[in-house]
């Protein structure tokens, strides 16, 4: 009987601790961005108009949302739950991620899975608008004596459909091919998907737990891009060492970043280029870019600028998304040939920024899952 009483007391203490500790360690904050979850956490409930908000349960709902986002030990519990689901049951904890075979994870947003199914939305009106936008952009740069290229980068589902948890439609034309055929300009429209697929035997080109290609994947894309935009240049030599990192989908699932990283190729090269630090970027350019981002209703992202005094191909400006980010090397590779490479995360061409940068070559890039709507509105006004 005494042992039972002790056991009951221990259970009671444990139960009280489970209740008290999370409440006692709740963070009195709100509205901050969660890098792990890629979203803004709930604001602290407002006391304004308290009585009507209590009557219609709005205040209680706001309180519940805030507690769900800020209660103590939340991240640890979320990570433990994610580990059990992912490693133990092979189940996703995020509606934005689907788990495939052999560790492959796929992003679900922006109709990404529909690419593999052959049901990505592209109407006749969409295609006509994309063609018109392309012609407007091309004419704009031709009049200025600037070389212009449209680059379409493939989603992981297009390069690795064999690991999807459902059967893909292998015979269906993918969005990039449909748009490429509609525009009908093989000289200035670049689609690197086939180059990647043909080099899959050299090693993995996308991270398992990321929606982006890895440094081997970007190298294969770089060689294909260079053939188009500067065929007289020879690509730099391919060489890798093994590194380790986790991807954006791993964090989306709520897993611990440091727990189990995957092996990835790290490009080895004595770079002739260097990336400018923030303080080295012209302040007038920064101010103009901030205004442009605001006008395009997107959050400001600092430009990535590389310079190489020993190169001779002038200035290359890339309007691109995260597939063009420097940590996966596209601007690094290309700045071995160009004196300056500027990566802008704008989704619409800016005449103001072009006039400031005075590029010799411009490449507008969009990843496959975002071709619609990006290519229906990217040309300068």
190-204 pLDDT per residue, tens: 999 999 999 999 999
Same domain, residue pair 61 and 198: no
Q: CA-CA distance, 342 to 350, in Å (whole number)?
A: 13
Which distant-in-sequence residues (6+ apart) come within 8 Å of 307 by Cβ? 273, 274, 276, 335, 339, 340
Q: Which of 35, 54, 72 is the last residue of a domain?
A: 72
pLDDT band at 226 (very low <50, low <70, confident <90, very high): very high
**What was the pLDDT predicted at 284?**
96
Secondary structure of residue 170 in the 3-state scheme: coil
Does a structural domain hold residue 91? no
Does a structural domain hold residue 298? yes
pLDDT above 70: percentage of residues in the chain: 78
Same domain, residue pair 119 and 261: yes
Kindly report, residue by residue over 340-354, the tens digit of the pLDDT: 999 999 999 999 999
**What was the pLDDT predicted at 60?**
65
Q: State the average pLDDT over residues 214-225.
A: 96
Q: CA-CA distance, 345 to 360, in Å (whole number)?
A: 19
Q: CA-CA distance, 103 to 213, in Å (whole number)?
A: 15
Does a structural domain hold residue 88? no
Q: CA-CA distance, 295 to 283, in Å (whole number)?
A: 18
* DSSP code, position 148: E
β-pair type (240-245, 262-267) = antiparallel
Secondary structure of residue 195 in the 3-state scheme: helix
pLDDT at 1 over 80: no
pLDDT at 19 over 90: no
Report residue 101 CA to chain centroid gap. Answer: 22
Range of the domain at 19: 2-72
pLDDT at 74 over 90: no
pLDDT above 90: percentage of residues in the chain: 67
Does a structural domain hold residue 117? yes
pLDDT at 11 over 80: no
Does a structural domain hold residue 196? yes
Q: What is the DSSP string of 235-283?
A: PPPP-EEEEEE--HHHHHTT--TTT-PEEEEEE----S-EEPPGGGS-H
pLDDT at 14 over 70: no
pLDDT band at 59 (very low <50, low <70, confident <90, very high): low
Higher pLDDT, 22 or 260: 260
pLDDT at 319 over 50: yes
Q: CA-CA distance, 345 to 325, in Å (whole number)?
A: 9
Does a structural domain hold residue 81? no
Q: State the average pLDDT over residues 343-367.
A: 97
pLDDT at 7 over 70: no
Long-range contacts (CB closer than 8 Å, 24 or more residues apart) made by 195-199:
195/220, 195/221, 195/223, 195/224, 196/154, 196/159, 196/220, 196/221, 197/159
Same domain, residue pair 174 and 244: yes
Average pLDDT of the chain to the nearest whole number: 86
Q: CA-CA distance, 324 to 343, in Å (whole number)?
A: 7
Same domain, residue pair 47 and 117: no
* DSSP code, position 328: G
Does a structural domain hold residue 84? no
Same domain, residue pair 64 and 123: no
**What was the pLDDT predicted at 102?**
92
Q: CA-CA distance, 134 to 15, in Å (whole number)?
A: 64
Q: State the average pLDDT over residues 109-132.
A: 95
Phi-psi region of 245 (alpha: psi -120 to 50; beta: other; left: phi over 0): beta
pLDDT band at 100 (very low <50, low <70, confident <90, very high): very high
Same domain, residue pair 30 and 110: no
Helices (H) and strands (E) in the chain, counts: 16, 13
pLDDT at 173 over 90: no
Q: CA-CA distance, 224 to 244, in Å (whole number)?
A: 26
Same domain, residue pair 144 and 247: yes
Q: Which of 18, 51, 72 is the last residue of a domain?
A: 72
pLDDT at 40 over 80: no
Same domain, residue pair 333 and 193: yes
Partnered with residue 266 across adjacent β-strands are 241
Higher pLDDT, 1 or 280: 280
pLDDT at 269 over 60: yes
β-pair type (97-99, 262-267) = unpaired
Same domain, residue pair 217 and 331: yes
Does a structural domain hold residue 343? yes
Same domain, residue pair 42 and 112: no
pLDDT at 18 over 50: no
* DSSP strands (E only) in the chain: 33-34, 39-40, 97-99, 105-107, 147-153, 189-191, 240-245, 262-267, 274-275, 304-307, 315-319, 340-344, 361-367
Q: What is the DSSP string of 27-67?
A: ----S-EETTTTEEPPPPPP-TTHHHHHHTTHHHHHHHHHH
Same domain, residue pair 175 and 42: no
| Count of domains for the chain | 2
Least confident among 38-52, 238-252, 319-333: 38-52
**What was the pLDDT predicted at 140?**
97
Same domain, residue pair 12 and 148: no
């Amino acid at each position: 009987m005494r042992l039972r009483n002790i056991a009951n007391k221990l259970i009671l203490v444990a139960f009280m601790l489970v209740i008290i500790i999370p409440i006692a360690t709740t963070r009195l904050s709100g509205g901050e961005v969660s890098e792990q979850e890629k979203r803004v956490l709930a604001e602290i409930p407002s006391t304004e108009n308290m009585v009507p908000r209590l009557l219609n349960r709005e205040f209680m709902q706001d309180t519940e949302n805030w507690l769900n986002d800020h209660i103590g030990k939340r991240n640890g519990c979320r990570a433990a739950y994610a580990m059990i689901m992912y490693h133990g049951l092979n189940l996703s904890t995020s509606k934005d991620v689907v788990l495939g075979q052999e560790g492959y994870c796929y992003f679900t947003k922006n109709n990404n899975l529909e690419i593999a199914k052959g049901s990505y939305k592209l109407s006749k009106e969409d295609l006509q608008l994309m063609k018109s936008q392309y012609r407007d952009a091309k004419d704009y740069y031709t009049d200025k004596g600037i070389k212009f290229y449209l680059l379409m980068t493939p989603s992981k589902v297009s390069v690795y459909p064999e690991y999807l948890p459902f059967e893909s439609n292998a015979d269906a034309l993918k969005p990039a091919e449909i748009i490429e055929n509609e525009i009908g300009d093989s000289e200035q429209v670049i689609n690197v998907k086939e180059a990647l697929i043909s080099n899959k035997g050299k090693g993995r080109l996308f991270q398992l737990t990321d929606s982006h290609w890895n440094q081997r994947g970007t190298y294969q894309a770089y060689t294909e891009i260079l053939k188009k935009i500067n065929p007289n240049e020879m690509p730099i030599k391919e060489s890798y060492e093994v590194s380790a990192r986790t991807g954006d989908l791993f964090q989306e699932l709520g897993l611990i970043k440091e727990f189990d990283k995957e092996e990835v190729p790290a490009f080895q090269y004595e770079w002739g280029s260097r990336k400018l630090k923030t303080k080295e970027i012209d302040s007038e350019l920064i101010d103009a870019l901030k205004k442009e981002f605001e006008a395009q209703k997107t959050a400001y992202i600092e430009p990535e600028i590389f310079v190489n005094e020993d190169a001779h191909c002038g200035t290359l400006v890339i309007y691109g998304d995260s597939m063009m980010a420097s940590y996966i090397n596209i601007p690094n590779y290309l700045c071995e040939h160009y004196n300056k490479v500027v990566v802008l995360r704008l989704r619409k061409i800016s005449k103001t920024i072009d006039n400031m940068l005075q590029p010799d070559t411009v490449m507008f890039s969009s990843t496959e899952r975002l071709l619609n709507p990006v290519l229906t509105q990217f040309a300068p006004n």
